[in-house]
Structure 1
Amino acid sequence: MSNNLPKFHPKHLNWLMPLILSGIMSGAISCFNMFINKGWSDQFISLWLHAWSLSWLMAFPLILVVLPLVRKFLMQFIEMPKEK
């Protein structure tokens, strides 16, 4: 079985990973919060999809900006291995 899916160049990981992660996280959190606050209803899915789309619209640009800052901050506490 061969994989004929198109492949992305590795340089696209800088925006693809935040896109997927922000989608998963905003979807899960908005679903959880909506269920906790509103409970289940006949309109739950449509209300959640609307909330998710707004959350994702905020989450993706936010993670694009914040991720490099967090990486820079954490590098202050990371000891890189010495090359032999």
Structure 2
Amino acid sequence: MTTTRKRSRLPARYAAIVSPLVLSLLMTFIVSFISTLKSLGFHPSLPSIWMSAWGLSWLVAFPTLLMVLPAVRRIVGWLCEPAAR
């Protein structure tokens, strides 16, 4: 008999931090790769330079997202109709 263990999840109150965390990780991962690739081309040291650039860009992006996200939500609310309920 096999038992499945339910994966524990974070409480909903953490969504305001987890959302910008995931967004900043994914966006800086992609953008830093494109920038590093454009700058260096396919170079043997590309992975190490890219990871260094990614780390630095994420250190800037995550706190920036936390600070500007409330303003972005207000701007989007001003530009878009509210969702129908």
Q: TM-score, normalised by structure 2?
A: 0.85
Letter in 2 for 1:70: V
Gap regions ≥5 residues in structure 2: none
When the two chains are superposed, the root-mean-square deviation of aligned CA atoms in Å is 1.9
> Which fold has the larger relative contact order, with Cα–Cα distance below 8 Å and residues 6 or more apart in sequence?
1
- Tell me which of 69, 72, 82 is aligned to 1:70: 72
Aligned length: 83
Q: TM-score, normalised by structure 1?
A: 0.86
Q: Quote the residue 2:30 is aligned against.
A: 28
- Tell me which of 25, 44, 47 is aligned to 1:45: 47
* Percentage of pairs with the same residue: 30
Gap regions ≥5 residues in structure 1: none
Structure 1 segments of 4+ aligned residues over 4 angstroms from their partners: none
